[in-house]
Amino acid sequence: MIEHEKFSVNEIFTHSPLLCEIVKKVNQLSKLNRAVQQKLDPELANQCRIANYRDNILILTTPSQAVGHKLRFAASDLLTTLRTEPDWCGLRSIKIQVRPKLMTTVTPPIPNPIRPSLSAHNAEILKSTATTIPFMPLQHALLRLSNRQFVKTHTEFPFSQ
């Protein structure tokens, strides 16, 4: 069994500044998300997410064009409200992006395909041909095919005379 050295979280962050930056960014976005959720109308807050915060620009996403439109109207008030907090006083603008959720399409069931059928005459030809073929898999395939005889149904149309 291989023994691994144990490191504390502080040691990992000391040795990995990139990981430290990622954790700081996640904490920043989480804090900003809470602030946005508190300041926005609950109807809008439930339908938007923070995509990013970079260069003092907040990017919000929503799956709906209609909600995106409402967010654009609410963005100026949200910007003013967020700027009153010391953490977000440098916020320059808010961008709204509409990113529709991937639609999970339910494919309709495929109807039973119409199997090709044969006339009785062609079925007899296939049966007689199959009996002369020595290769058994081909013979069985032709016999199965010959069983697909055309069943003629008579349909009367009420408007035809």
- What stretch(es) of the chain map to CATH 3.30.300.180? 12-98
pLDDT one-digit tens code per residue, 88-102: 899 999 999 998 875
φ, ψ (nearest 5 deg) of residue 120: -60, -40
In the prediction, which pLDDT does 98 show? 92
In the prediction, which pLDDT does 2 show? 66
The residue among 149 and 28 whose pLDDT is bigger is 28
pLDDT grade, residue 157 (50/70/90)? Answer: very low
12-98 is classed CATH 3.30.300.180: yes
Q: What is the mean pLDDT of residues 125-130?
A: 87
- High-pLDDT (> 70) share of the chain, %: 79
pLDDT one-digit tens code per residue, 27-78: 999 999 999 999 999 888 989 899 999 999 999 999 989 999 999 999 999 9
**What distance in Å separates the CA atoms of residue 27 and residue 97, rounded to the nearest whole number?**
22
**Tokens representing 100?**
């529709």
**Tokens representing 58?**
């907040």
Q: Taking the model in full, what pTM does it have? A: 0.55
Q: What is the mean pLDDT of residues 132-139?
A: 86
